C-alpha cells in the first residue's frame, strides 16, 4: 500500500508565483501608507529600501533552504536541523503566529475596502465571510486554493497597474519633496514596521515546497518571480500614490491631518479624479 500521508505534488511555478505575490499583495493596498505619517516620503522610502534589500537576501536564503529541504514544515524544519528541537519549536511557533494572525488582518482589510465603496456593507460581517470562505477553500485542497489565489493575484496586480496608469500622469516631483522628513531620521526607524507590509508573507512559498513536483527548480523560480513582481509593484504604488498630492493626501482622510485612513489608493484616486469618481467621493465624505 502507498503512503496515504504523502502530500500531492500539484503546484506549478505559476501557482507558486500566484501564492508568493498573493500572500503579500494586500499590503500594497493598505497599511504601508501609515509609515508616511512617521517618516514622511524620504523616511518611508529609506525604510522601504532597507526592507527590500533585507527581503531579497532573505528570499535567496529561504529559496536555498526550501530547495535543499523541501518540507512543509518550513522554518521549523530548518531550525530543527541546524539548532535542535527546542529552538526549532520556538521558530515553528513564531511562524504559526505570523500565518495565524495574517489572514484575519487581510479579511478585515477586504471588509474595509468594500465598506469604502459601499458604506452599507458591514466591515466585520464581510471579514468573517471572507475568512471562512478562504479557510474552506484551503481545507478543500491546495491545488484548488492555489488556482483560485493565482487568478485573484493576477486581477489584483492588474488593478495596481491600472491605478498606477491613472495616477502617474498626475505625478509631480514636488509632492515627493514636500515634508519629506518631518520627524527626522528617528521617523525613518519608526516607519520600518510599515515598510514590511510591502513584502511580508512571501516566505510562505517555502511551506508548499513539498507539494511541488520539482521543488529544486520550481521553488527558486517561484521565489525569484514573486520578489521581482513585488519590487516592481512597490516602486510603482509608492511613487504614484504619493506623487499625486503629497503623503498627507493618502494618510489622512481629510488630506491634511487628523484621522488616518486604511485606504490610500482610493484617496489618491479621489485627489486625481475628484468629483468625477462619484463612488469614492460619496463613500469618503
Say which residue, 104 or 162, is predicted with more confidence: 162
Q: Round to whole Å and give the CA distance between 251 and 209.
A: 38
13, 25, 261, 20: which is closest to 159 by C-alpha?
Answer: 25
pLDDT for 5 equals 56
Q: Is the pLDDT of residue 276 over 60?
A: no
Q: Round to whole Å and give the CA distance between 211 and 10.
A: 6
186 confidence band (pLDDT: 50, 70, 90): very high
Asked whether the beta carbons of 146 and 135 are under 8 A apart, the reply is: no
Burial 62-83 (b: 16+ CB within 10 A, else e): bbebbbebbbebbbbbbbbeee
194, 200, 199: which is closest to 251 by C-alpha?
Answer: 194
pLDDT for 54 equals 94
- Cβ-based burial of 184 (10 A; exposed 0-12, middle 13-18, buried ≥19): exposed
Mean pLDDT across 131-140: 84
* CA 62 distance to own-chain centroid: 18
* CA 233 distance to own-chain centroid: 10
What is the CATH code of the structural domain delimited by 13-246? Answer: 1.20.1740.10
Asked whether the beta carbons of 147 and 166 are under 8 A apart, the reply is: no
DSSP character at residue 258? S
DSSP character at residue 180? S
Rg (the chain; Cα; Å) = 20
Residue 252 pairs with which residues in a beta bridge?
Answer: 260
Q: Round to whole Å and give the CA distance between 126 and 260.
A: 21
State what percent of residues in the chain have pLDDT above 70. 93
Neighbours of 61 (CB within 10 A): 12
* Mean pLDDT, the chain, whole residue set: 85
162 confidence band (pLDDT: 50, 70, 90): very high
List Cα–Cα distances, 150 to 65, 214, 231, 242, 276, in angstroms.
24, 19, 18, 28, 32
pLDDT for 279 equals 46
Q: Is the pLDDT of residue 209 over 90?
A: no
pLDDT for 157 equals 95
Q: Is the pLDDT of residue 71 over 60?
A: yes
In the chain, % helix, strand, coil (3-state, to 5) comes to 80, 0, 20
124 confidence band (pLDDT: 50, 70, 90): confident
pTM (predicted TM-score): 0.85
114 confidence band (pLDDT: 50, 70, 90): confident
Say which residue, 35 or 263, is predicted with more confidence: 35
Q: Round to whole Å and give the CA distance between 219 and 164.
A: 29
pLDDT for 282 equals 39
HSE-up of residue 38 (Cα within 13 Å, Cβ side): 21
Mean pLDDT across 91-98: 87
pLDDT for 41 equals 95
Amino acid at each position: 500500500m502507498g503512503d496515504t500521508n504523502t502530500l500531492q505534488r500539484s503546484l506549478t511555478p505559476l501557482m507558486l508565483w500566484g501564492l508568493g505575490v498573493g500572500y503579500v499583495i494586500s499590503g500594497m493596498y493598505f497599511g504601508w501608507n501609515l509609515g508616511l505619517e512617521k517618516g514622511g516620503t524620504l523616511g518611508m522610502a529609506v525604510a522601504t529600501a532597507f526592507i527590500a534589500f533585507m527581503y531579497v537576501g532573505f528570499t535567496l536564503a529561504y529559496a536555498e533552504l526550501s530547495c535543499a529541504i523541501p518540507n512543509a514544515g518550513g522554518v521549523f524544519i530548518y531550525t530543527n536541523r541546524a539548532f535542535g528541537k527546542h529552538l526549532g519549536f520556538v521558530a515553528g511557533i513564531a511562524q504559526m503566529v505570523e500565518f495565524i494572525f495574517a489572514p484575519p488582518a487581510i479579511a478585515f482589510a477586504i471588509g474595509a475596502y468594500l465598506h469604502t465603496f459601499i458604506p452599507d456593507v458591514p466591515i466585520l460581517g464581510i471579514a468573517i465571510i471572507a475568512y471562512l470562505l478562504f479557510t474552506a477553500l484551503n481545507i478543500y485542497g491546495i491545488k484548488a486554493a492555489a488556482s483560485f489565489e493565482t487568478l485573484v493575484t493576477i486581477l489584483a496586480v492588474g488593478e495596481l497597474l491600472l491605478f498606477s496608469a491613472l495616477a502617474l500622469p498626475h505625478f509631480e516631483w514636488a509632492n515627493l519633496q514636500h515634508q519629506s522628513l518631518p520627524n527626522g531620521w528617528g521617523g525613518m526607524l519608526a516607519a520600518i514596521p510599515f515598510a514590511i507590509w510591502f513584502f511580508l508573507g512571501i516566505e510562505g512559498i517555502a511551506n508548499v515546497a513539498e507539494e511541488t513536483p520539482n521543488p529544486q527548480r520550481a521553488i527558486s523560480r517561484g521565489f525569484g518571480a514573486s520578489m521581482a513582481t513585488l519590487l516592481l509593484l512597490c516602486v510603482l504604488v509608492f511613487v504614484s500614490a504619493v506623487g499625486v498630492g503629497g503623503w498627507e493626501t493618502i494618510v489622512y482622510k481629510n488630506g491634511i491631518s487628523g484621522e488616518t485612513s486604511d485606504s490610500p489608493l482610493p484617496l489618491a484616486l479621489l485627489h486625481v479624479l475628484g468629483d468625477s469618481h462619484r463612488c469614492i467621493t460619496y463613500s469618503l465624505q
